[in-house]
């Protein structure tokens, strides 16, 4: 045989020489959950590698992650019920602890990249990413609030705004609002192809942000998040977001939508982010806890598969643990 592919696999050194894809700290974004208060560090039962933390504890966690080489974080707030209303107005309130926390984090760690979450579900009483009226999710009325929220987040010090709501036209509206407020340099990481997936459960547990069970309120998010059966539709969303001013395009979930990551990578020039979501992480953790899978093998392999599919950036609750394994 003239060709023996095994020659390029015969040693660890050679395998590293010809390796096509690598996951590094620069590829990873660490999701963090924040709650109001002090001294709080609560493990999330359905997502055991993640915690809800108050700002004082979160600063310690960020410092530990930075020492491992992580420099990008996305921040999600758990909002107390007394701050929730129909319009989600606490989202842009100057006294919002989430906004104050962002300012403190950037003051202490100015070198890191801090990404926000723009959606109404943590803030409104209905648990939806937009305004609910007469059993419908209102699009254009929601977009105005989202734009106001984004400007407040820019003022607080976020480097990248993360619209996760899937309302039509919100990227352009937010871009115009940011530019008008003279935040032209603030980036946007759009949740471009966010599917109406069943893999978000632990995340909603962490933030208490699931849709409220009420006959007058839609029981799911299928009228605005994408149908899991569709792939070409993701190309439409990506083209619109790119034209409207997005700087990054995201696919969510990641592992079960590797084909979508690949399609966006081939058809778009913007960087592609992929969210390794809570249910995907929890499923892996449970299988490893049962001894059905080897954690030190399959967790890095999972992240590598996302990278190989075309993701430039990976949002994963395993970011810190992945880097600890590399030490």
Q: What does the pLDDT read at residue 194?
A: 97
Task: Give just the sign of the alpha carbon dihedral 80, 85, 88, 92.
Answer: negative
Q: What does the pLDDT read at residue 210?
A: 73
Domains and CATH numbers, the chain: 21-326 (3.20.20.70)
C-alpha span between 210 and 105 (Å, rounded): 27
pLDDT in tens, 1-14: 999 999 999 999 99
Instruction: Determine the length of the chain.
Output: 327
Residue in the structure block whose two tokens are 């083209």: 239
HEC string of the chain equals CCCCHHHHHCCHHHHHHCCCCCCCHHHEEEEEEEECCCCCEEEECCEEEEEEECHHHHHHHHHHHHHCCCCEEEEEEECCHHHCECCCHHHHCCCCHHHHHHHHHHHHCCCCEEECCECCCCCECCCCCCEEECCEEECHHHHHHHHHHHHHHHHHCCCEECECCCCCCHHHHHHHHHHHCCCCCCEEEEEEEEECCCCCHHHHHHHCCCCCCCCCCCCCCCCCCECCCCCHHHHHHHHHHHHHCCCEEEEECCHHHHHHHHHHHHHCCCCEEEEECHHHHHHHHHHHHCCCCCHHHHHHHHHHHHHHHCCCEEEECCHHHHHHHHC
Return all residues near 308 (Cβ < 8 A) that are at least 6 apart. Answer: 20, 21
Q: What does the pLDDT read at residue 207?
A: 79
221 and 200 Cβ atoms separated by less than 8 Å: no
Q: What does the pLDDT read at residue 215?
A: 62
Q: Report CA dihedral (140, 226, 279, 100) to the nearest 10 degrees.
A: -20
| Mean pLDDT, rounded, of the chain | 95
* Enzyme catalytic residues: 194, 252
Q: What does the pLDDT read at residue 155?
A: 98
Question: Distance between alpha carbon 110 and the CA centroid of its chain, in Å?
Answer: 21
170 and 163 Cβ atoms separated by less than 8 Å: yes
What is the pTM (predicted TM-score) of this model?
0.95
Task: Give me the phi and psi of 221, to 5 degrees please.
Answer: -115, 25
Task: Give me the phi and psi of 309, to 5 degrees please.
Answer: -70, -20
Report residues of the chain scoring pLDDT below 50: none
pLDDT in tens, 175-195: 999 999 999 999 999 999 999
Q: What does the pLDDT read at residue 205?
A: 82
* Paired residues of 138 in beta bridges: 131
């Amino acid at each position: 045989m003239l060709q023996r592919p095994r020659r390029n696999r015969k040693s660890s050194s050679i395998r590293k020489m010809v390796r096509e894809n690598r996951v590094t700290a620069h590829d990873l974004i660490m999701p963090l959950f924040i709650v109001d208060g002090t001294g709080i560090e609560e493990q999330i039962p359905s997502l055991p590698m993640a915690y809800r933390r108050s700002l004082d504890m979160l600063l310690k966690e960020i410092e530990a992650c930075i020492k491992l080489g992580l420099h990008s974080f996305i921040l999600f707030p758990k909002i107390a019920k007394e701050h929730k209303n129909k319009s989600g107005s606490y989202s842009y309130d100057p006294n919002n602890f989430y906004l104050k926390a962002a300012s403190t984090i950037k003051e202490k760690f100015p070198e890191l990249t801090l990404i926000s979450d723009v959606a109404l579900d943590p803030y409104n009483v209905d648990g939806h990413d937009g305004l609910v009226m007469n059993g419908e999710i209102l699009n254009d009325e929601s977009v105005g609030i989202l734009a106001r929220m984004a400007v407040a987040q820019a003022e607080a010090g976020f480097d990248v705004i993360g619209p996760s709501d899937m309302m039509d036209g919100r990227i352009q509206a937010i871009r115009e609002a940011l530019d008008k407020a003279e935040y032209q340099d603030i980036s946007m990481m759009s949740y471009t192809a966010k599917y109406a997936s069943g893999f978000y459960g632990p995340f909603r547990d962490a933030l208490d942000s699931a849709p409220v069970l009420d006959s007058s309120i839609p029981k799911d998010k299928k009228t605005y998040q994408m149908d899991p059966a569709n792939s070409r539709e993701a190309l439409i969303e990506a083209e619109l977001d790119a034209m409207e001013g997005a700087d990054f395009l995201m696919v969510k979930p990641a592992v079960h939508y590797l084909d979508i990551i690949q399609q966006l990578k081939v058809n778009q020039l913007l960087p592609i982010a992929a969210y390794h979501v809570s249910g995907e992480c929890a499923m892996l953790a449970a299988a490893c806890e049962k001894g059905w899978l080897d954690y030190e093998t399959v967790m890095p392999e999972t992240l590598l598969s996302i990278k190989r599919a075309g993701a430039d950036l990976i949002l994963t609750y395993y970011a810190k643990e992945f880097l600890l394994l590399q030490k």
